[in-house]
Structure 1
Amino acid sequence: MAETTTETTKNAPLLAADGTPLRRKLEQALFVSRMRALGLVAPLLAFILAVFIIPIVYFMIQGMHNPVYADRMPNSTPILQAWDGQSPVTEEMAEAMVKDLILTRDNREIGRVATRVNQEFSGARSMFTSSARKAERMEPPFLEALVDADKDWGKQEVWRAIKVAATSWTPAYYLAALDFQYAGDGSITRQDAERRIHVALFVRTMEISLIVTISCFVLGYPVAWLLAELPVRKANLLMILVLLPFWTSILVRTTAWIAMLQGQGVMNDLMVFTGLNQVILQISMLFNDYKDLTVSSLCGIDVNAALGSIPAAVEKFGASPPGTLTRCGAEILAAFEQGGESGARSHAEALAASAQRWGYGDERFSMIYNKLGTIIAMTHILLPFMILPLYSVMKTVPPSYLRAAKSMGATNWTAFWRVYFPQTIPGIGAGALLVFILAIGYYITPALVGGQDGQMISNFIDFHMRRSLNWSLAAALGGVLLIIVLFFYWLYDRIVGIDNMKLG
């Protein structure tokens, strides 16, 4: 009997002071703790959901959903959606189109409908607006009446474009973001060569972002190492200098680089003063034909402009502010005043023929409004984002590791490469990922200093958002960019491992 009582006591659950099983009491306490933690982070989660997650999802949906035509053209929309895109245009389709033109003309929606169709077929806006003004006077047969109003109504590809516009859910925008075209018959073809711009912009964006990331690593690693090795007092003083750019507007910093890099800027003045410009020019001559000299030389730009069109070049040289004209431009302008177009062309050809021997002392380089200017300005702005993760990781590496390696016979380089560098890889990964993702979506700096060669995909997204008002294409471009960023994030996780990334 005593043994049975002892066994029952052992199997009985532990109880709290109020008689509740201890296990249940512990689960209740943990639940209350989790709810308290959830309550503390709930405002932040709601804020992120409201201003970040939901707008991104809505924006990406807009890249596939555009009901502008379907909502405003109720008569022609179902007929066009049922049309196969191959058979001839019917009188029923034309009659429904005339009714919708009259309807949208009366409710002042024809502009939005015309803009939507114009996104699929260039020139459709004027066709729709002009036909809408004549729609009330049109009589059967309506197809002939539409063709009389505008001959483009007789083209099969126009009706196919309207069919695409009449489909609310369409892959057309995402295909356009990849330089493909979605036709009304369901076929997918590549855009014409002169309209394939988006893929090239994505490639340029990746290229600039990668170069900026590498540049930040090359410049930031020694600085982070110096900060980690210096005494705390000196390191804190230098850290203030690293953080100082955060206290200055990006717009101000970018504008400062414009003043630094322009043709008459500080950098060009310094190169002219030291003669470095001539060294760079002669090295460039070894690898470039004179026709390609425009990549590095303002004087070369003036010569090429004169060889292309003497009147236009002379007009440009004459309108140049005092002190900004290169010696090439000044000599060509003087030759024009003395010998006319033939004299100016002869002098330009002579400059081109003796390009490798000219040696002008005031030769200046175009370092702004091109890809070079974009890379320089972005590297300066994003450099702290590389230094800080590197510094936080380097600070945790014990100096005794290097001393131990050297005491065992390792050289300075071997101790650094085999012992120190591998321990800083988490900081390198964190800084590189941070800089690359920030660079890939940069907008202000390329817009101000990029020019035609330094524009990135973010600038085109802004163009379609604010100027062309093609929000669906902007959403598709943004969606493709987001997919690319997620791909690189996945690739980093597979190669390095996201668990190995350290920000501090």
Structure 2
Amino acid sequence: MTAGQDSLHHSSALHADNAPSAGEVQAERRELRRRRRISLLLVVPLLAFIFFAFVAPIATMLYRSVYNPTVVELIPKTVEALSDWTTTELPDPEAFSAMAGELKQLATNRQAGVLAAAVNRAHPGASSLINSTARKMRNAQGEQLASGSVQLLRDADPRWGQPQIWHAIKTVGRAYTDTHYLTALDLDRSPQGEIHVRESARIYLQLYSKTLGIALAITVLCILLGYPLAYYLAHAPRRVAGMLMVLVLLPFWTSLLVRTTAWIALLQTNGVVNSVFQAVGLTSAPLEILYTRDATIISMTHILLPFMILPLYSVMRGIDPTYVRAALSLGSRPWSAFLRVFMPLTLPGLSAGSLLVFIISVGYYITPALVGGTDGQMISNIIAFHMQRSNNWGLAAALGTLLLVLILILYWIYDRLIGARNIKLG
């Protein structure tokens, strides 16, 4: 055996001795599976929280925006009789008979008000029509309901002779419908199925545009106020920066309701702001600031300003000051070095703060409701109105879904123009 063959044989023997056995391989696999199970168990609470607090509510909102079973559950026979009716004339007597019988049953069960509220959203004035007719149908006999239901309903109220009320009942009688989305977009559908712009009550698109305008104004003001303060905090001595940071974080330690109420005291007609303006001679009469759009912008800028300062401060603290000094040593002027060297390095923090402030302000509810008045209301206040007062959950879900889609579109545009990967919170 040559020396080379002996060396090869020796290395092969050493490799065979160092190779793990089958038992060791299985033990390593079991240990790997055990670690994976432990990792999964640690993540399960977070996944459950995300599902119940985020995924499930959004899925429910999307479902409720197109699912509206109230009317079809109350008057199924009438909805069935109107399913094939598409003309501008009155429906068949079967629809009248079904409607009269089901109104009698609803009056007995005291559920006519639910039907009246549902139909009234599609046809204003239907609430009084259905409630009054249901009271009159309560004493109607079975023969009258079977043979003379057409005349019986028209005698109860002449409006049953108008096709518009029947088209409204057919529209709200669909279990799955896009009516809420059409309403949220200020659109309407004709009896022939054509979609057209609503001639009256065109309010929701204006609310969306006003909400975006208010959110954009708040974001710009937060940038103008937060950027210089974050720059000073990043370059100030440690003790001074710590004291100022306490003032920045102070709003987080105060209740949102208390902060909003304080702005009411500041901005009211005889409040602090007007008193100071009149004392220094800036105005001769009190300014009407409270319950306006300006009041919403001012108060929300104060509330959301820390969300702009903190990302900017954390990014500015990580910028090496030698970059600016190198630019100055190469002949650049201070403003040129700031704009061409320092500011581009702060864009990740600036984009993160802007995105935070904009998205939070779009969905804000409490502050506009308290200080905004009619002029300062945002789309979130209308969603809350339909959820709490009008009980039109389908329209509220459609408005919320469109708001979510709008935010996602804006985020996609932001990602295409700037890049979401450039966002940094620290």
Q: Distance in 1 between matches of 2:18 and 2:180?
A: 65
Which letter maps to 2:380? S
Which runs of structure 2 are paired with 1:51-450 in the superposition (5 Å)? Answer: 51-86=53-88, 88-135=90-137, 136-137=139-140, 139=144, 140-193=147-200, 195-277=201-283, 362-450=284-372
Deviations 1:39-63 (A, max 9, x none): 1121121122112211121122111
Report the equivalent of 1:50: 52
Q: 1:131 to 1:404 in 2, by over 3 A?
A: same
Q: Which amino acid aligns with 2:187?
A: F
Count of residues in correspondence between the two structures? 417
Aligned to 2:386: 464
Task: After TM superposition, give the deviation of residue 18 of structure 1 in Å.
Answer: 5.3
Please, which runs of 5 or more residues in structure 2 have no aligned partner? Answer: none
Q: Tell me: CA distance 1:10–1:422, structure 2 relative to 1, closer, same or farther (3 Å).
A: farther
Matches within 5 A, 1:29-40: 29-40=31-42
SS state at 2:122 partner? coil
Percent of aligned pairs with the same amino acid: 46
- Structure 1: which amino acid aligns with 2:140? R
- In structure 2, the CA distance between the partners of 1:434 and 1:26, relative to structure 1 (3 Å rule), is farther
Shift of 1:175: 0.7
**CA–CA distance in structure 2, aligned partners of residues 235 and 59 of structure 1:** 45
- Taking structure 1 as reference, are residues 190 and 9 closer, same or farther at Cα in structure 2, changes over 3 Å only? farther
Amino acid at match of 2:245: M
**Larger displacement relative to structure 2 (9-18 or 213-222):** 9-18
Q: CA deviation at 1:119?
A: 1.1
Greater CA drift, 240-249 or 71-80? 71-80
Distance 1:35 1:494 in 2: 38
Q: 1:256 to 1:74 in 2, by over 3 A?
A: same
The structural deviation recorded for 1:12 is 8.4
Q: Describe the SS at the equivalent of 1:81.
A: coil
Give, in whole Å, the separation in 1 of the partners of 2:410 and 2:236: 35
For residues 377-436 of structure 1, the C-alpha deviation after alignment (integer angstroms, 9 at most, x for no partner) is 000000000000111111110111111111111111011001000000000100000000
**Range moving further from structure 2, 77-86 or 253-262:** 77-86
CA distance in 2, matches of 1:231, 1:28: 55
1:223-257 CA distance string (max 9 Å, x none): 11111111222212211110000011111111111
Decide whether the 8 Å contact of 1:75 with 1:99 is kept in 2: no
| Distance of 1:415 and 1:485 partners within structure 2 | 35
Q: Residues of 1 paired with 2:29 and 2:245: CA distance?
A: 47
Verify the 8 A CA contact 1:161 1:183 in the aligned structure 2: no
Aligned to 1:310: none
Q: Any idea what SS the aligned residue of 2:341 has?
A: helix
CA contact (8 A) 1:73 1:100 kept: yes
Deviation string for 1:153-179 (max 9, x for gaps)? Answer: 111111111001110100000110111
Which secondary structure does the structure 2 equivalent of 1:122 belong to?
coil
| d(CA) in 1 for partners of 2:401, 2:307 | 25
Cα deviation code 1:254-307 (max 9, x no counterpart): 111111111211111111122222xxxxxxxxxxxxxxxxxxxxxxxxxxxxxx
Aligned partner letter, 1:256: A
Supply the distance in 1 between the matched residues of 2:272 and 2:85 (Cα, whole angstroms).
64
> Aligned AA for 1:96?
A
After TM superposition, give the deviation of residue 199 of structure 1 in Å. Answer: 0.5
Question: 1:399–1:106: structure 2 CA closer, same or farther, 3 Å change rule?
Answer: same
CA shift digits 1:359-381 (9 cap, x unpaired): xxx32211111011110000000
Q: 1:144 to 1:478 in 2, by over 3 A?
A: same
Q: Contact 1:164–1:183 (CA<8 Å) still a contact in 2?
A: no
Larger deviation, residues 156-165 vs 73-82:
73-82
Change (3 A) 1:184 1:47: farther
Question: What is the identity, as a one-letter code, of the residue corresponding to 1:274?
Answer: V
1:16 paired with 2:20, answer yes
CA distance in 2, matches of 1:396, 1:421: 13
Q: Which residue of 2 aligns with 1:342?
A: none
2-structure distance, mates of 1:397, 1:378: 30
> Deviation of residue 74 (structure 1)?
2.3
What amino acid sits opposite 1:144 in the alignment? Q
- Counterparts of 1:178 and 1:9, CA distance in 2: 78
Give the distance between the partners of 2:156 and 2:29, measured in 1 at CA.
Answer: 78
SS in structure 2 of the partner of residue 367 of structure 1: coil
- Which stretch shows the higher mean deviation, 415-424 or 29-38? 29-38
CA-to-aligned-CA distance 1:127-186 (integer Å, 9 cap, x gap): 111111122426233122211111211111111110011101000001101111234542
Change (3 A) 1:7 1:133: farther
- Compute the displacement of 1:29 (Å): 4.5
Contact 1:163–1:184 (Cα < 8 Å) also in 2: no
Structure 1 residues 14 and 96: alpha-carbon distance in aligned structure 2, compared to 1, 3 A threshold: farther
Q: Name the structure 2 match of 1:340.
A: none
The answer to whether the 8 Å contact 1:81/1:166 transfers is: no
When normalised by structure 2's length, the TM-score is 0.92
Which whole-Å CA distance do the structure 2 matches of 1:63 and 1:184 have between them? 22
Q: Distance in 2 between matches of 1:489 and 1:131?
A: 51
Deviations, residues 47-98 of structure 1 (Å, cap 9, x unaligned)? 2211221112112211111100111212112122232354531101101111
Task: Pick which of 53-62 and 81-90 moved more.
Answer: 81-90
CA contact (8 A) 1:94 1:142 kept: yes
Unaligned runs of 5+ in 1: 278-361
In the alignment, which residue of structure 2 is the partner of 1:297?
none
The Cα RMSD (Å) is: 2.3
Shift of 1:112: 1.0
Report the alpha carbon displacement of residue 189 of structure 1 after superposing the two structures with TM.
Answer: 2.1
Cα separation, 1, equivalents of 2:100 and 2:161: 14
SS at match of 1:137: coil
| Change over 3 Å in CA distance of 1:441–1:450 after alignment to 2 | same
Q: What whole-Å deviation, never above 9, does each CA across 1:21-48 have from its counterpart, x for those lacking one?
A: 4xx7666544433332221121121122
Report the equivalent of 2:402.
Answer: 480
